[in-house]
Amino acid sequence: MLVSRLFGSLVMLLLPLGVGRPGTCIAPAKVLRGVDVSHYQKQIEWDSVAVREPIDFAFVKATEGQDYVDSLFCRNWDALRKHGIRRGAYHFFRAYGCGQEQARNFLERVEYEPGDIAPVLDIERTDGVDPEVMIHEATIWLQCVEKELGVKPIIYSGFHFYENFLKGHFDHYPLWIARYADEAPLLTSGKRWDFWQYSNEGCLEGISQKVDLNVFPGTTDMMEKLCWYPKPVETAEARVAP
């Protein structure tokens, strides 16, 4: 399969990466592979994907702007849980929209379960809006979602868009970067990425359309740090001072 050939080459690129190089990690003992999908991939046969394709995680488009919901989100979201593929949901940000209303659109549609990957804010266009306004509204989205779920969201963006518009504004958030090239992204700020979308030409059994391919340079335990878990319930006894 094409995904296996691409992934095999990618591992060879990632393994030699050394200490201190921006955007990289130290020779990961394992690299997790994943995809991201939306209604553009049409109805996916997740049972075939789960059996025939060695993927470890999948991101699914949930919402866009202030009121749009991806028509296949619920189907994909439920299927991933059924087949035991670690899942994450993303919101496609529209710079002309209110950040708080966009956050509400996302939060009302996505029901998280323990172990799901943290929410993703996909920022990849200015929509003709002043970049400062875009940054302001995106910050509101991030703050609203983090306050509601208690986990820091992940930023997704293309390499050049991130460098031109986002660099320096969201450095304390995990980063999922898109760059379709033979070399891993090296950000000029020195920030390290957590996920790399390295191709949009993936061909997988069970998915009829080309699909984006991603990697996480680490183990399942390492990915746990980027996942959502409910906060422990504080009991009455715990609140009593000794």
Catalytic residue among 45, 101, 124, 146: 124
Are 95 and 129 spatial neighbours (Cβ–Cβ below 8 Å)?
A: yes
Indicate the Cα dihedral angle 143, 147, 151, 157, nearest 10°.
Answer: -20
Q: Is 221 a catalytic residue?
A: no
Going 9 to 14 to 15 to 17, the CA torsion angle's sign is positive
Residue of 197, 194, 198, 196 whose CA lies nearest to 225: 194
Catalytic site includes residue 132: no
How far, in Å, CA of 52 to CA of 69, rounded?
29
Catalytic position from the list 36, 56, 116, 212: 36
Distance from C-alpha of 87 to C-alpha of 216, rounded to nearest angstrom: 13
Active site amino acids: 36, 124
